């Protein structure tokens, strides 16, 4: 019995069924499964330059996708929205991305889209987003360049090439070869200048291009003046050519000038902040300059008549004698101005802060800064010194007595009703050093703090001379008091000894106790 070899009928049927399902899926889905779909973004161009679908999209020269669709804004228009289908190599694309249409062949040829993906700080573009026309550019076609070069312009350009050829033939090429050794330094400085032209802040270059466009528009607004400028420049160039030897000498001095220029420019740059502040402060004066000139014109007319020949001769004769002293004064003025500067600095840095300072004194607190209290003291001093005699003004001082005896020095004693609690301000035994050679502006400001010190130690004198002086003082005081009481007719008796605390209590009990006496007795009991 022969065996059947090959697939069974069931296997063949199952394979045909799977094949039918696959064919049906491709017929309706029109897509290949398990293949990544491209990431599509759009870019709006003002001029597509004839770019078509399947044109490559590159980032830094690496192909990352292709153009999948070009939709013009209207039939026949150059502007269009171009759809860019990007692979994973071209992702991510950020919100500040830029797109440029560039030729793949010099001057003319096929085009590709040069995509700059942008920066991560701006955020990523979502699929289907559009890069606006403000961040897209298109190439300049060669025919556009030729259309800009009209017949007159082409003739002038041809003449330029002829003159350049003559210059090269008459030694320009040799001079260019001789200048090669100077070009590295020149290119280095040119690179610094080019970098500086980019500006310090974002958008400086764009602002410069915009302002340059305004200048160019102003120049183009008056062709006659522009033509005159070119003609005058041609005359200037011809004059320089006629003075070739002098021009060569001037160029030879240029290296030394360039070496001396950086320090001068650095100093000038350092002065610019002060100049800017001066310019801001000078704006009100500049604004008022016009009315000031209008108000000054009548004076100028009068001065013009004053300097006429008939008037000027007499004035010149009078000024002839005054001119030498004025010259000597001008010579001595810098020294005077230097002294005035030191004086102004002293006033501003030392005297004014001193006047604005406030004296720190807990016992006698200040009621304002020094300059205010100083004026108050002057008015009080003037009020106290209104009394005067043949010797001049004098002060009236009311003395008082008390139970506290003080040694005032030089053999002078005094009394006070209250004990001494301190010494404020404390006495200064030594004067501050006098340094006349040190500028006042560098001196320290006065220290106005008033820190009181404690009273001197109490001493009890037991010497014979002290007791004799005390007895004599008591006897003299008793005699004076008796005479005064006798004149008044009082019968009050005066003792020859000092009153004791018991005596005072007895007198207070008979005559009534005052508030001041009660406080004095309480303090005495506490001691």
**Domain locations in the chain as residue ranges:** 39-146, 149-197, 460-492, 497-527
**What is the model's pLDDT at position 1?**
44
Q: Which two tokens stand for residue 526?
A: 């506490």
The residue whose two tokens read 């209207």 is 74
**What is the model's pLDDT at position 517?**
58
> CA 468, CA 59: separation in Å to the nearest integer?
118
Q: In 10 A of CB 280, how many CB atoms?
A: 9
Closest listed residue to residue 265, CA positions, set 189, 184, 181, 209: 189
Pairing mode, if any, of strands 98-103 and 39-45?
Answer: unpaired
Res 3 pLDDT > 60: no
Closest listed residue to residue 65, CA positions, set 86, 83, 82: 86
Omega before residue 92 within 30° of 0, cis: yes
Res 518 pLDDT > 70: no
Please state the rounded mean pLDDT for residues 7-16. 67
Instruction: Count how many Cα atoms sit within 13 Å of the Cα of residue 327 in the half-sphere of its side chain.
Output: 6
Please classify residue 67 by burial: count the beta carbons closer than 10 Å to its beta carbon, then call 0-12 exposed, 13-18 middle and 19+ buried.
buried
Please state the rounded mean pLDDT for residues 468-496. 81
SS3 of residue 451 by DSSP:
coil
Mean predicted lDDT score pLDDT of the chain: 78
* Residue pair 402/418 in contact by the 8 Å Cβ criterion: yes
Q: Which two tokens stand for residue 144?
A: 């556009």
**What is the model's pLDDT at position 251?**
78
Instruction: Count how many Cα atoms sit within 13 Å of the Cα of residue 232 in the half-sphere of its side chain.
Output: 6
Could you read off the pLDDT of 141-196 as tens digits, one per residue?
666 666 666 667 777 778 888 888 888 788 777 887 887 787 787 777 788 877 77
- The partner residues of 85 in beta bridges, in order of sequence, read 40, 66
Could you read off the pLDDT of 373-425 as tens digits, one per residue?
887 777 766 666 667 777 777 766 666 566 677 777 777 777 776 777 777 77
Could you read off the pLDDT of 231-259 as tens digits, one per residue?
788 788 778 777 778 878 887 787 788 78
* Residue pair 130/83 in contact by the 8 Å Cβ criterion: no
CA distances from 49 to 72, 77, 80, 98, 130 (A): 12, 11, 10, 17, 19
DSSP 347: I
Could you read off the pLDDT of 88-128 as tens digits, one per residue?
888 899 999 999 988 876 555 578 899 999 998 889 988 98
* Residue pair 86/93 in contact by the 8 Å Cβ criterion: yes
Q: Which two tokens stand for residue 442?
A: 């560098």
The per-residue b/e assignment along 300-338, b for 16 or more CB within 10 angstroms, e otherwise, is eeeeeeeeeeeeeeeeeeeeeeeeeeeeeeeeeeeeeee
**What is the model's pLDDT at position 378?**
74
313 compared with 301, residue with greater pLDDT: 301
**What is the model's pLDDT at position 41?**
92
The residue whose two tokens read 């300097």 is 307
Instruction: Count how many Cα atoms sit within 13 Å of the Cα of residue 42 in the half-sphere of its side chain.
Output: 13
Displacement of CA 523 from its chain's centroid (Å) = 66
Say whether pTM exceeds 0.75: no
Q: Say what percent of the chain tops pLDDT 90.
A: 7
> CA 67, CA 326: separation in Å to the nearest integer?
86
* Residue pair 101/51 in contact by the 8 Å Cβ criterion: yes
Please state the rounded mean pLDDT for residues 280-308. 83
The residue whose two tokens read 């050093």 is 433
Could you read off the pLDDT of 329-363 as tens digits, one per residue?
788 788 788 888 888 888 888 888 888 888 888 77
Pairing mode, if any, of strands 412-416 and 80-86?
Answer: unpaired
């Amino acid at each position: 019995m022969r065996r059947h070899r090959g697939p069974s009928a069931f296997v063949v049927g199952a394979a045909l069924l799977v094949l039918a399902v696959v064919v049906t899926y491709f017929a309706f889905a029109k897509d290949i499964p398990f293949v990544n779909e491209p990431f599509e973004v759009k870019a709006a161009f003002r001029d597509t330059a004839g770019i078509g679908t399947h044109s490559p999209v590159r980032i830094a020269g690496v192909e990352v996708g292709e153009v999948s669709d070009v939709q013009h804004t209207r039939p026949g228009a150059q502007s269009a929205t171009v759809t860019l289908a990007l692979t994973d190599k071209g992702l991510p694309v950020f919100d500040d991305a830029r797109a440029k249409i560039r030729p793949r062949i010099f001057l003319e040829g096929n085009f590709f889209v040069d995509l700059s993906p942008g920066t991560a700080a701006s955020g990523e573009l979502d699929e289907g987003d559009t890069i606006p026309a403000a961040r897209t550019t298109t190439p300049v076609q060669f025919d556009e360049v030729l259309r800009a070069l009209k017949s007159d312009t082409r003739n002038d350009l041809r003449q330029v090439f002829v003159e350049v050829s003559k210059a090269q033939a008459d030694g320009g090429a040799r001079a260019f070869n001789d200048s090669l050794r100077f070009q590295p330094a020149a290119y280095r400085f040119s690179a610094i200048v080019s970098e500086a032209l980019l500006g310090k802040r974002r958008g400086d270059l764009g602002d410069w291009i915009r302002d340059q466009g305004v200048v160019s528009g102003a120049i183009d607004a008056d062709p006659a003046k522009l033509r005159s400028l070119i003609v005058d420049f041609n005359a200037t160039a011809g004059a320089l050519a006629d003075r070739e030897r002098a021009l060569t000498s001037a160029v030879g001095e240029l290296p030394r000038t360039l070496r001396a220029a950086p320090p001068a420019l650095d100093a000038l740059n350092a002065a610019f902040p002060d100049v800017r502040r001066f310019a801001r402060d000078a704006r009100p004066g500049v604004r008022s300059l016009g009315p000031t000139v209008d108000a000054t014109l009548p004076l100028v007319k009068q001065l013009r008549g004053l300097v006429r020949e008939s008037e000027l001769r007499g004035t010149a004769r009078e000024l002839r004698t005054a001119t030498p002293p004025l010259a000597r004064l001008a010579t001595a003025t810098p020294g005077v101005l230097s002294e005035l500067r030191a004086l102004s600095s002293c006033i501003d840095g030392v005297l004014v802060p001193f006047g604005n300072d406030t004296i720190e004194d807990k016992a006698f607190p200040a009621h304002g800064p020094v300059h205010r209290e100083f004026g108050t003291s002057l008015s009080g001093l003037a009020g106290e010194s209104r009394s005067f005699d043949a010797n001049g003004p004098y002060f009236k001082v009311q003395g008082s007595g008390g139970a506290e005896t003080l040694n005032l020095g030089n053999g002078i004693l005094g009394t006070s009703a209250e004990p001494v609690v301190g010494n404020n301000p404390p006495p200064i035994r030594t004067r501050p050093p006098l340094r006349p050679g040190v500028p006042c502006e560098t001196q320290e400001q006065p220290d106005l703090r008033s820190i009181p010190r404690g009273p001197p130690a109490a001493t009890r004198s037991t010497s014979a001379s002290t007791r004799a002086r005390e007895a004599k003082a008591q006897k003299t005081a008793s005699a004076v008091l008796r005479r005064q009481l006798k004149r008044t007719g009082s019968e009050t008796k005066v003792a020859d000894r000092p009153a004791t605390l018991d005596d005072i209590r007895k007198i207070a009990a008979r005559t009534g106790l005052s508030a001041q006496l009660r406080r004095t007795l309480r303090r005495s009991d506490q001691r």
